[in-house]
């Protein structure tokens, strides 16, 4: 019976889920079993979000470094009284204000990104679970079919073994009877592929054992 996505969501509600595309086991699993277009799309979306997060962190780091340099410029220009020094201070202040605005925007975006990453990652997990469930069900059906086939083949094999033994025993009886009557010289015309030996088929022994068991 198929499981709805709502049940998968409920199962994951209070669970911490590591970022799947950073998990080597996840990649190995779906490399063997294959994915779906939806999983591939979610993987791309999650990859883009992680790249954006990394880029924003890098940008903020660069901005902080730039602000430090600008502050140093302002401090070093404070002693000057000429127009050049004043312009340098003014330009540095302008760039610091721009940097603050950029950094504030980046930090706001960084606050939202983890939630968006978690949302996409959970959806990817749900789709992965659905695919795993489908494949488990399909594989189980095939396993049961193969097991049934093996069971039937084993029964057929036992029947054929008994049948073979019975025919071998019959051949041995026929050969012995004719050998006793005609002798070895006449028996050569039969062109036997092997010389039969008298040996009762295992079926007789099995039947005797079964009868004893019944008693």
Q: Output the pLDDT for position 192.
A: 61
Q: Residue 78 — φ and ψ, nearest 5°?
A: -65, -30
Asked if pLDDT for residue 199 goes beyond 90, the answer is no
Mean pLDDT for 2-10 is 69
Percent of the chain residues past pLDDT 70, beyond the cut: 80
pLDDT tens, 59-93? 999 999 988 888 887 777 666 556 677 777 788 88
Check residues 1 and 90 and name the one with the higher pLDDT: 90
Q: Output the pLDDT for position 206.
A: 47
Q: Output the pLDDT for position 83.
A: 63
Tell how far CA 43 is from the center of its chain: 15
pLDDT tens, 151-172? 999 999 999 999 999 988 888 8
Mean pLDDT for 179-196 is 70
**Mean pLDDT taken over the chain:** 82
Asked if pLDDT for residue 209 goes beyond 50, the answer is no
**What is d(CA 154, CA 160) in angstroms, rounded to the nearest whole number?**
10
Other CB atoms within a 10 A radius of the CB of residue 185 amount to: 7
Q: Which residue has the tokens 């040996």?
A: 199
Closest CA to 63 of 109, 95, 103: 103
Query: What's the residue count for the chain?
Result: 215
Check residues 126 and 82 and name the one with the higher pLDDT: 126
Mean pLDDT for 3-9 is 70
Asked if pLDDT for residue 120 goes beyond 90, the answer is yes
* Under 8 Å between Cβ of 85 and 77: yes
**What is d(CA 72, CA 210) in angstroms, rounded to the nearest whole number?**
101
Q: Output the pLDDT for position 40.
A: 92
Q: Output the pLDDT for position 16.
A: 80
Asked if pLDDT for residue 202 goes beyond 50, the answer is yes
Check residues 81 and 16 and name the one with the higher pLDDT: 16
**What is d(CA 207, CA 203) in angstroms, rounded to the nearest whole number?**
6
């Amino acid at each position: 019976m198929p499981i709805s996505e709502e049940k998968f969501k409920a199962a994951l509600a209070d669970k911490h889920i590591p970022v799947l595309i950073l998990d080597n086991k996840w990649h190995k699993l779906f490399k063997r079993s294959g994915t779906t277009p939806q999983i591939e799309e979610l993987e791309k979306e999650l990859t883009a979000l992680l790249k954006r997060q990394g880029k924003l962190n890098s940008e903020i780091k660069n901005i902080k470094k730039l602000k430090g340099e600008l502050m140093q410029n302002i401090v070093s220009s404070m002693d000057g009284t000429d127009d050049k020094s004043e312009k340098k201070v003014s330009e540095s202040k302008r760039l610091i204000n721009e940097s603050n605005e950029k950094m504030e925007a980046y930090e706001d975006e960084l606050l939202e990104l983890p939630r968006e990453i978690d949302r996409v990652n959970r959806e990817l997990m749900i789709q992965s679970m659905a695919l795993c469930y489908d494949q488990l069900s399909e594989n189980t059906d095939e396993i049961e079919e193969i097991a049934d086939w093996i069971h039937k083949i084993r029964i057929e094999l036992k029947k054929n073994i008994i049948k073979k033994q019975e025919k071998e025993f019959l051949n041995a009886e026929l050969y012995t009877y004719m050998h006793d009557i005609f002798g070895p010289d006449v028996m050569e015309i039969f062109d036997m592929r092997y010389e039969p030996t008298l040996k009762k088929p295992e079926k007789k022994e099995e039947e005797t054992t079964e009868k004893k068991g019944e008693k």
